[in-house]
């Protein structure tokens, strides 16, 4: 990370000084950053794939994956690209650039913070009791989402994906649990990062906007991991031509973007298939299915979106492509043991956390407006949040180590 800061700092300085050589310097910067990411994240995968395809026996040392490398690499690339585009002024203080890259609240698992969004805050940010207070509440909400919902569903997810209780019912319960687990785990981390940022005077952009209420896959990607999807849109999709160069080129661009979106998540064919899976549906919606969707009842639009999302999460969670295919088959082929395993896969504790997950994955705008309408209502809400936070701490102390799911990416 420190080497990345040092190299990109000087490339930024040179970009600002030698504009005629801008394309060459930007190429060097992108090659360096992607090269570092490739060596640490994809080199082992590449060698293993080459060995399987060719029958070779190439060996290299196993390379440890530096935590947060995907996030801080994309952040520093956005800075260099924006300097090249003259969208931001070059940062001449290397410590300020290092602060941008090493901001610990969101360093490990996002959201991806762009330099343009925090450059003024790095130079001069305002701290206040009100902002610190808001940060504490936001942190408590994120922590509770992670510990009280995501972590409580993890054992159910692990049990189902391990195939211990095979049943059609169990497969659907398992993927529903994972759908909720990954949302509350990742959005919980984002809430905690945004909350900690506020405590120190930083305002990070939102990373989730209730993605499971989407009526199409296009809408889902506007609501899910917003910092990543907008990064790919602004720094890859639009430079490739976006939707400005005809339909065929648009579809190719979508395939490229979502191939790389999948690959960004990890060195695995599962993630590649997961990305391309979404690309297929996005292309289908552009080809005319979106118009058909809009004519359907709203409930059917939601069902379609959730169905596609849940099938996609199978590829994301399964260890191998074969395991993913087997799991999807298990979602549609009866085992004959559904009743026998009903009470095992869905005990009262799991039912409670599944229901809580569903309830809190949808917005309650009207209720929150009524709560915020009075000081007493707001105070009671914050007492509830802090009591839930204390309960989450008790749960955490009584359980084992449970890292955030996005640490692995």
Q: Choose, from 133, 171, 225, 265, the residue flagged as catalytic.
A: 265
Task: Single out the residue in 102, 122, 155 at which a domain terminates.
Answer: 102
pLDDT in tens, 201-218: 999 999 999 999 999 999
Let me know: does 30 contact 77? Beta carbons within 8 Å. yes
**Residue numbers of the domain that contains 68:** 2-102
pLDDT on residue 98: 93
pLDDT on residue 124: 85
Domain match, 49 and 143 both: no
Residue 310 lies in a domain: yes
Let me know: does 115 contact 44? Beta carbons within 8 Å. no
Residue 405 lies in a domain: no
pLDDT on residue 130: 92
Residue 118 lies in a domain: no
Residue 57 lies in a domain: yes
pLDDT on residue 340: 54
pLDDT on residue 252: 95
Domain match, 75 and 186 both: no
Residue 124 lies in a domain: no
Cα–Cα distance measured from residue 114 to residue 224, given in angstroms and rounded to the nearest whole number: 17
Cα–Cα distance measured from residue 377 to residue 370, given in angstroms and rounded to the nearest whole number: 8
pLDDT in tens, 323-335: 999 999 988 887 7
pLDDT on residue 184: 95
Q: Which pair of tokens denotes residue 57?
A: 């026996």
Query: What pTM value is reported for the model?
Result: 0.91
Domain match, 274 and 142 both: yes
Cα–Cα distance measured from residue 202 to residue 276, given in angstroms and rounded to the nearest whole number: 35
Domain match, 177 and 67 both: no
Task: Single out the residue in 63, 86, 102 at which a domain terminates.
Answer: 102
Cα–Cα distance measured from residue 400 to residue 193, given in angstroms and rounded to the nearest whole number: 22
Give the relative orientation of helices 151-161 and 168-199 as an angle to the nearest 10 degrees. Answer: 150
State the burial class of residue 377 (Cβ atoms within 10 Å of its Cβ: 0-12, 13-18, 19+).
middle
Residue 122 lies in a domain: no
Cα–Cα distance measured from residue 405 to residue 185, given in angstroms and rounded to the nearest whole number: 7
Ordered DSSP codes for 274-314: HHHHHHHHHHHIIIIIHHHHHHS-HHHHHHHHHHHHHHHHH
Q: Per residue of the chain (409 residues), give pLDDT as tens.
A: 999 999 999 999 999 999 889 999 999 999 999 999 999 988 988 888 888 888 888 888 888 888 888 889 999 999 999 999 999 999 999 999 999 998 888 777 778 899 998 888 988 888 899 999 999 999 999 999 999 999 999 988 988 898 877 778 888 989 999 999 999 999 999 999 999 999 999 999 999 999 999 999 999 999 999 999 999 999 999 999 988 888 899 999 999 999 999 999 888 899 999 999 999 999 999 999 999 999 999 999 999 999 999 999 999 999 999 999 999 998 888 776 665 556 556 678 888 999 999 999 998 878 888 888 888 888 899 999 999 999 999 988 877 777 776 666 6
Domain match, 150 and 94 both: no
Let me know: does 194 contact 138? Beta carbons within 8 Å. yes
Domain match, 37 and 151 both: no
Cα–Cα distance measured from residue 105 to residue 121, given in angstroms and rounded to the nearest whole number: 15
Residue 276 CA, distance from chain mean position: 16
Q: How many domains does the chain have?
A: 2
Ordered DSSP codes for 35-63: HHHHHHHTHHHHHHHHHHHH------PPP
Domain match, 374 and 232 both: yes
Cα–Cα distance measured from residue 303 to residue 342, given in angstroms and rounded to the nearest whole number: 23
pLDDT on residue 136: 96
Residue 176 lies in a domain: yes
Domain match, 180 and 276 both: yes
The neighbour count for residue 320, using CB atoms within 10 Å, is 11
Domain match, 174 and 41 both: no
Is the backbone peptide bond immediately before 185 cis, with ω within 30 degrees of 0? Answer: no
CA distances from 407 to 6, 51, 154, 275 (A): 24, 28, 15, 19
Nearby residues of 317 by Cβ (< 8 Å), 6 or more positions away: 157, 161, 175, 178, 182
Q: Which pair of tokens denotes residue 7?
A: 């190299």
Residue 409 lies in a domain: no
62 dihedral zone (left: phi>0; alpha: psi -120 to 50; beta): beta
Domain match, 140 and 271 both: yes
Residue 171 appears among annotated catalytic residues: no
Domain match, 288 and 377 both: yes
Domain match, 259 and 356 both: yes
């Amino acid at each position: 990370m420190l080497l990345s800061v040092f190299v990109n700092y000087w490339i930024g300085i040179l970009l600002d000084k030698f504009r005629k050589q801008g394309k060459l310097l930007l190429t060097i910067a992108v090659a360096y950053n992607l090269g570092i990411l490739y060596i640490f994240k994809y080199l082992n995968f590449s060698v293993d794939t080459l060995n399987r395809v060719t029958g070779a026996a190439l060996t290299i040392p196993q390379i440890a994956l530096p935590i947060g490398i995907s996030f801080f690499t994309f952040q520093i690339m956005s800075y260099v690209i924006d300097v090249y585009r003259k969208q931001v002024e070059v940062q001449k203080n290397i410590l300020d650039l290092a602060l941008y890259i090493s901001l610990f609240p969101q360093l490990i698992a996002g959201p991806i913070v762009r330099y343009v969004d925090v450059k003024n805050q790095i130079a001069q940010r305002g701290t206040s009791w009100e902002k610190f207070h808001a940060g504490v509440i936001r942190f408590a909400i994120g922590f509770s989402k992670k510990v009280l919902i995501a972590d409580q569903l993890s054992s159910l997810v692990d049990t189902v994906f391990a195939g211990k209780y095979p049943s059609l019912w169990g497969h659907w319960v398992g993927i529903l649990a994972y759908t909720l687990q990954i949302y509350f785990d990742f959005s919980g981390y984002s809430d905690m990062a945004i909350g900690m940022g506020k405590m120190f005077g930083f305002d990070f952009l939102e990373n989730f906007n209730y993605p499971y209420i989407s009526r199409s896959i296009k809408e889902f990607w506007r609501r899910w991991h917003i910092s990543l999807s907008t990064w790919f849109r602004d720094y890859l999709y639009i430079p490739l031509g976006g939707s400005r160069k005809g339909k065929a080129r648009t579809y190719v661009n979508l395939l490229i973007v979502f191939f790389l979106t999948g690959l960004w998540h990890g060195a695995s064919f599962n993630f590649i298939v997961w990305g391309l899976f979404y690309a297929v549906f996005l292309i289908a919606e552009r080809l005319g299915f979106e118009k058909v969707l809009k004519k359907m009842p709203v409930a059917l639009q939601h069902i379609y979106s959730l169905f596609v999302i849940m099938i996609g999460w199978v590829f994301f969670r399964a260890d191998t492509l074969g395991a993913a295919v087997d799991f999807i088959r298990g979602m549609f082929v009866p085992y004959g043991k559904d009743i026998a395993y009903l009470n095992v896969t869905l005990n009262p504790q799991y039912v409670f956390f599944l229901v809580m997950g569903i309830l809190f994955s949808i917005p309650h705008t009207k209720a929150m407006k009524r709560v915020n309408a009075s000081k007493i209502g707001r105070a009671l809400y914050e007492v509830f949040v802090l009591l839930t936070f204390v309960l989450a701490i008790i749960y955490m102390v009584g359980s084992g180590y449970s890292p955030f799911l996005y640490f692995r990416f």
